[in-house]
Amino acid sequence: MYDLKRYLRIAKHLLDAVANIQRLPAPYYLKHALLLDFFPKHASVIETGTYLGETTSVLARHCKQVLTLEPYLPLYNYNMD
């Protein structure tokens, strides 16, 4: 279920970007680009609210260490698989 939700959200963000729709929050691809510019290589990062883990995954490829907190048990279990 969460995989389908992830793909639908990505598709919606891309369609919004193509349609040039202004929206808050920023699309994930923009958020990820900003975070990668902000954190120096090999930084240690603490992320709160993991949700589906996209940002965690992006940061893990860039940073030395990523600690993430997800208080909602179903999403925690999803991200632990």
pLDDT tens, position by position, 39-67? 998 899 999 988 889 999 999 999 999 99
CA atoms of 66 and 34, how far apart (whole Å): 16
Q: Is 24 exposed, middle or buried (0-12, 13-18, 19+ CB in 10 A)?
A: exposed
Confidence of residue 5 (pLDDT cuts 50, 70, 90): confident
| Residue with token string 């990668």 | 36
User: Residue 56: what pLDDT?
Assistant: 93
Residue 80: pLDDT band by 50, 70, 90 thresholds? confident
The residue among 48, 54, 13 whose CA lies nearest residue 36 is: 54
pLDDT tens readout for residues 14-40: 777 767 666 666 778 888 998 999 999
